Structure 1
Amino acid sequence: MPLEVERKYLNVDFAALRRALCDLDARNLGAHFESNWVFDTPDARLFANGRLLRLRMQEWPGAIRHVLTLKLPAAQNERFKVREEHELEVTDATAMRAVLHGLGYVAGARYEKVREPWLFEDVAVALDTLPFAHVLELEGEAGHIERVAARLGLDKAETSTKSYHQLHQEWRCLHKLPPDLSFVFDAEQRWRCRRKLGFVEADQPGGRPGTTVKV
């Protein structure tokens, strides 16, 4: 049974973390832009039962990867988020969407992020830039996560086992905004993020063709 064991760290200094990872000879796997579509029944039965059905597109300059993921309800664990997870790489995302629609699922939410993945001592280290926050995520065996967190100086960092959906809802509530299942970059944010990753976009939104903007 494939289990996903992870813990998130909030309000982390990404620049300091990158320096620590480099000093420890961690391996940078290459940042990418992510677009995610969450599928559910029209009456949201999967969400109500703690299940997640997601089609993800990962983009690098010159490469695209699609992954279909099913996550089952999270186990009760105060220190780590533990879920059974099944993933399948998809070669034809359009056909996969047609299959999901044919089974009665609809895309009920969408979210985006920039993920900068590293590998350190068999723990997946992900620096995630979201439209509303910067979050560090460690995934691996529980004991290994604890060891890596200590080596990265995260002993006193604020931790969370909540999903990005839950963190987003809390952020919206804090800012007195209505609930929204989706969180995506606005056009300017998306352009800046993708530009930083090396994508050659046509024009800067609201600017002149070829305008260079500091990211």
Structure 2
Amino acid sequence: MPLEIERKYLDADFDRLRCALIGAGATDQGAHFESNVIFDTPTFGIHASGRLLRLRSQEWRGRIRHVLTLKLPVVAPADSAFKAREERELAVESAAAMGAVLEGLGFVAVARYEKVRSVWRLDPFRPGGSGMLVELDELPFARVVELEGDAEDLDAAGRLLGLDKCEFSTKSYHALHQEWRCSRGLPHERSFVFGADERSRLRARLGLPDMAAPGV
């Protein structure tokens, strides 16, 4: 099964990064709107075991993809400069139907989150390398860059793109969201979705139809 190896950069300038990506010969894979639902047992047994069960919908103009993902516990050391964990993914025809199956099995939707993700691909840095995905994520509470690829190439990619001067993190978006809320004296909240006006603006920018606010 594929191993996801990634690092997040928290304070990157997206405009400057896009220029660096073009200069580095990266390929623009386009942007899409993401809607994610996290499922768990009523007692949060999946979270307690270090796993994550996520149902994701990715929307491009004229195309939509639904994916069910199980993330296994992190295998990189706690003090590592990157996060590594095994992912098991399954494309599904309907997010609504898959959600109904999960609920029928006793799982419950415990959180929802949204983002706009712009994806770029860098060619391999060395013979046998797999290349690097550079993902520019617009979230309701932050703008974050994710590098995903071979662990030995993360530092080189960061230097090439000028990201080595930015703060980085291996924490999940849920953990970063909680830190953001705590720093502002806000109560705990598992979900993070765009406000109605912001969602409409972002979806219009991507050429997508408007949509109702998601439930929790």
- Calculate the TM-score normalised by the size of structure 1: 0.91
Query: Structure 1 stretches (4+) deviating beyond 3 angstroms?
Result: none
Measured in 1, the distance between the counterparts of 2:91 and 2:24 equals 31
5+ residue gaps, structure 2, are 124-130, 212-216
Measured in 2, the distance between the counterparts of 1:145 and 1:10 equals 15
- Cα displacement (A) at 1:200: 4.4
Amino acid at match of 2:53: L
Within a 5 Å distance, the mapping from 1:12-31 to structure 2 comes to 12-31=12-31
Measured in 2, the distance between the counterparts of 1:114 and 1:152 equals 21
Measured in 1, the distance between the counterparts of 2:110 and 2:55 equals 12
User: Sequence identity of aligned pairs in percent?
Assistant: 59
- Cα displacement (A) at 1:97: 1.3
State the number of aligned residues. 202
Indicate which of 82, 85, 94 corresponds to 2:84: 82
Q: 2:117 maps to what in 1?
A: 115
Measured in 2, the distance between the counterparts of 1:98 and 1:200 equals 24
- Cα displacement (A) at 1:150: 1.1
SS at match of 1:94: helix
Could you report, residue by residue, the CA deviation over 1:170-211 in whole angstroms, capped at 9, with x for unpaired residues? 000001000000000000110111111122449xxxxxxxxx
SS at match of 2:74: coil
SS at match of 1:183: coil
SS at match of 1:117: strand
Amino acid at match of 2:67: V
Give RMSD over aligned pairs. 1.2
Amino acid at match of 1:190: R
SS at match of 2:21: helix
SS at match of 2:165: coil
5+ residue gaps, structure 1, are 203-215
- Calculate the TM-score normalised by the size of structure 2: 0.90
